[in-house]
């Protein structure tokens, strides 16, 4: 039997629990929300203006991800989902950076029209790709894809995503030896000290005395604590001049201090901050590939989250609705200037597994916290002053979590079948060989735009590997859907039934108390009142008994 949840999806915690668990979820995703603005500012080639650009991107990222989180938990999947920048959108950006060499250094004064032009091109291409995201969800393609995409596809795709970011990680880790210190501290806190309980003293108003409690401080806030510790080490190195002037680990960079002083206390991220967007065919198609890779990744995350929340697998309408809302959240991020779509954060699913708190109310509060932090632009300026060298250690641990989540899907697959092993192995290998070949021997048709698009797509490892895995898994015979990792036997379980079944390594229990995907009664009444809404792929199909209920 699975360990019972402390708070189920539909449970409303006390105010104290909402603040505690919600704030914890917001803090856990902070490192992921920080890394992407640093990477984008490098792709923009903004030179000395990079720190100012980071402040703008950090604010926009926090606000847009907070809004996307609230939309997804309320109207989309309705499980306890937290959204952040999707790493699936990073490979096209890295390919764009490779094809558009930056002629400036980090200390040069780059003309604003140069780097803003690049940001407009990235933003416009993402905006158009997000419309594809919404379209796939609204017309029901995502639900059909969920029948084709299982763990055998998800495992190689997510592993290829991690390998495609390895060069960027290596580049960041090579900036300064403090990057390795950052990585070691994160590993120490997140792995070695994860279950260490630290005594915390506080004054109890009930007992009228100072009492102590023990909490898993390092396991709950590993990224935040490690970042603060290494940041302090960099500060000490700066004031003692152990780090030379303009060194990668200094905290008193002149541009950073100027931005920190001049940033307003409160600022609302405005739409289209870089001007009228432009579209580049190469990065647009690269982003479209990222959209489908993100959809595959999210379908796997939804099923993992459902298992963690002790719910049945998401029905087709919930998947369609969730992907459509992901598209809306990504569109909000694109309009705000964030050069990435949004995705479900695996780290927060892992935290739900640890805390046994799956309440959507706590995640909605986490989204509200992210919005407040984003509006407080002084906070964004402080975060933007983090030495670039620290990003390498955080990024390494974050990407390793994605790889770990990918491997966790193996428990659903029958690994005794040679068919399953061959498909995953071949997908991984071709996903690395094909991009490597076209990196050395680019496509040359004589038409610049066609060459640009093909070279962009063929250099994205997760796209190549994901397509190979999807095709082979759905055409090679020799395995049932259960052996391929699908949980079809639970997808149609009603909310009145209680089902418990075993996989190769765990017991999956579906709670009988509630159906997390069901809308509140007010919306259910609207669905009963307007039968035409039943034709929309994003809305649940009501049974005859549900139609008859509450008809007075």
Q: Is residue 423 part of a domain?
A: no
Provide the domain count of the chain: 1
What is the block-wise mean pLDDT of the chain (552 residues), using blocks of 10 residues? 74 85 76 77 83 85 93 92 86 80 81 89 92 92 86 88 81 87 88 84 77 77 79 89 82 63 77 88 86 84 84 89 94 90 80 79 93 84 75 78 80 92 95 91 82 78 88 93 78 42 44 68 76 79 57 44
Phi/psi for 69 (5° steps) reads: -65, -45
Q: What is the distance of C-alpha 123 from the center of its chain?
A: 19
CA-based torsion, 39, 332, 125, 55: positive or negative: negative
Determine contact, residues 329/130, Cβ cutoff 8 Å.
no
Q: Is residue 95 part of a domain?
A: yes
The rounded distance, in Å, linking the Cα atoms of 552 and 549 is 8
Q: Is residue 540 part of a domain?
A: no
Structure letter (DSSP) for residue 512: S
Q: Which residues contact 254 (CB under 8 A, 6 or more apart)?
A: none
The rounded distance, in Å, linking the Cα atoms of 169 and 368 is 31
Q: Is residue 508 part of a domain?
A: no
DSSP per-residue string spanning 382-448: HHHTS-TTHHHHHHHHHHHHHHHHHHHGGGGS-TT-HHHHHHHHHHHHHHHHHHHHHHHS----S-H
Radius of gyration of the chain (CA): 24
Q: Is residue 80 part of a domain?
A: yes
b/e map of 460-498 (b: 16 or more CB within 10 Å)?
A: bbbbbbbbbbbebbeeeeebeeebbbbbeebbebebeee
Q: What are the helix and strand counts (H, E) for the chain?
A: 24, 6
3-state secondary structure of 196: coil
- Domain boundaries, position 66: 15-193+224-414
Q: Is residue 533 part of a domain?
A: no
* pLDDT score of 539: 82
Spell out the long-range contacts of 37-41 with Cβ–Cβ below 8 A and sequence spacing 24 or more.
37/61, 37/338, 37/384, 38/388, 38/391, 39/90, 39/93, 39/168, 39/391, 40/93, 40/122, 40/338, 40/339, 40/340
* pLDDT score of 354: 66
The residues that bridge with 85 in the sheet, in sequence order, are: 342
Q: Is residue 469 part of a domain?
A: no
The rounded distance, in Å, linking the Cα atoms of 322 and 537 is 11
> 84 vs 52, 63, 340, CA distance in Å?
21, 10, 9
3-state secondary structure 324-388: HHHHHHHHHHHHCCCCCCEEECHHHHHHHHHHCECCHHHHHHHHHHHHHHHHCHHHHHHHHCCCC
* pLDDT score of 64: 94
What is the pairing mode between strands 209-215 and 507-510? unpaired
Q: Is residue 394 part of a domain?
A: yes
């Amino acid at each position: 039997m699975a360990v019972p949840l402390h708070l189920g999806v539909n449970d409303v915690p006390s105010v104290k629990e909402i603040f505690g668990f919600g704030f914890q979820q917001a803090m856990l995703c902070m490192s992921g929300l920080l890394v992407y603005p640093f990477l984008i500012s490098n792709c923009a080639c903004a030179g000395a203006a990079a720190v100012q650009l980071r402040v703008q991107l950090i604010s926009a990222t926090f606000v847009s991800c907070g809004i996307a989180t609230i939309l997804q938990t309320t109207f989309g999947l309705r499980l306890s989902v937290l959204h952040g920048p999707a790493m699936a959108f990073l490979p096209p950006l890295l390919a764009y950076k490779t094809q558009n060499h930056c002629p400036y250094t980090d200390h040069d004064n780059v003309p604003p029209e140069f780097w803003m032009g690049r940001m407009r091109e990235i933003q416009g291409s993402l905006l158009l790709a997000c419309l594809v995201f919404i379209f796939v969800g609204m017309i029901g393609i995502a639900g059909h894809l969920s029948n084709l995409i299982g763990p055998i596809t998800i495992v190689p795709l997510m592993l290829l995503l991690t390998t495609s970011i390895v060069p960027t990680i290596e580049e960041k880790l090579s900036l300064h030896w403090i990057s390795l210190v950052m990585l070691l501290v994160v590993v120490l806190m997140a792995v070695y000290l994860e279950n260490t309980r630290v005594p915390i003293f506080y004054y109890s108003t009930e007992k009228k005395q100072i009492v102590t409690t023990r909490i898993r401080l390092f396991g709950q806030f590993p990224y935040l604590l490690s970042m603060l510790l290494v940041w302090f080490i960099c500060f000490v190195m700066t004031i003692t001049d152990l780090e030379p002037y303009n060194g990668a680990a200094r905290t008193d960079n002149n541009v950073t201090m100027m931005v920190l002083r001049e940033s307003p206390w409160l600022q609302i991220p405005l739409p289209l901050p870089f001007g009228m967007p432009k579209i580049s065919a190469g990065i647009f198609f690269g982003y479209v590939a990222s959209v489908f890779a993100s959809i595959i990744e999210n379908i796997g995350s939804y099923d993992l989250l459902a298992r963690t929340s002790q719910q049945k697998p998401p029905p087709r309408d919930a998947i369609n609705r969730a992907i459509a809302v992901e598209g809306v959240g990504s569109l909000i991020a694109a309009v705000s200037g964030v050069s990435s779509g949004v995705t479900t954060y695996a780290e927060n699913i892992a935290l739900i597994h640890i805390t046994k708190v799956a309440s959507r109310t706590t995640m909605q509060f986490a989204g509200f916290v992210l919005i407040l932090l984003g509006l407080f632009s002084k906070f964004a300026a402080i975060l933007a002053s983090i030495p670039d060298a620290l990003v390498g250690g955080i990024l390494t641990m974050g990407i390793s979590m994605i790889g770990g989540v990918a491997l966790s899907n193996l428990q659903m697959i029958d690994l005794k079948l040679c068919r399953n092993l061959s498909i995953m192995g071949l997908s991984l290998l071709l996903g690395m060989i094909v991009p490597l070949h076209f990196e050395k021997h680019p496509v040359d048709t004589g038409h610049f735009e066609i060459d640009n698009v093909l070279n962009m797509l063929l250099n994205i490892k997760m796209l190549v590997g994901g397509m190979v895995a999807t095709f082979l898994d759905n055409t090679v015979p020799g395995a049932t859907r259960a052996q391929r990792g699908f949980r079809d036997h639970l997808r149609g379980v009603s909310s009145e039934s209680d089902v418990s079944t075993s996989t190769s390594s765990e017991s999956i229990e579906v709670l009988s108390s509630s159906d997390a995907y069901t809308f509140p009664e007010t919306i259910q009444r609207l669905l009963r009142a307007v039968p035409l809404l039943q034709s929309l792929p994003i809305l649940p199909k009501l049974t005859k008994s549900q139609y008859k209920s509450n008809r007075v």
